[in-house]
Amino acid sequence: MAEVVKLPKFGLTMEEASVSEWSVDVGEAISKGQVLAIIESEKVEMELPSPASGIVAKHLVAKGVTVAVGEDVAIIAADKEELSSISDE
């Protein structure tokens, strides 16, 4: 089952952040805990670890775009079959 990655709250006052860099491209395999992206909030950069192993199906946020905590930022497919069904949507 696909895993939707949400922007976590890294600090007490963090309300929003932007993706400064995607570490894993769409279509590439990723392991749970591997760095998916670098997130920038209030001029501090943090690593966003993947919550699941699989294949990165979609980046839902472009680099440099600011989103609120809790917003969806990526989708990780469990396998190639699921990846193709997500890609067709």
Q: Is 74 helix (H, G, I), strand (E, B) or coil?
A: strand
In CATH, the architecture of 3-87 is: Beta Barrel (2.40)
Residue 14 pLDDT more than 70?
yes
Domain boundaries, the chain: 3-87
pLDDT > 70: what percent of the chain? Answer: 97
Burial of residue 3 (number of CB atoms within 10 Å: 0-12, 13-18, 19+)? middle
Q: What predicted TM-score, i.e. pTM, was given to this entire model?
A: 0.90
CA–CA gap between residue 85 and residue 81 (Å, rounded) = 7
In angstroms, rounded to a whole number, what is the distance separating the alpha carbons of residues 50 and 54? Answer: 9
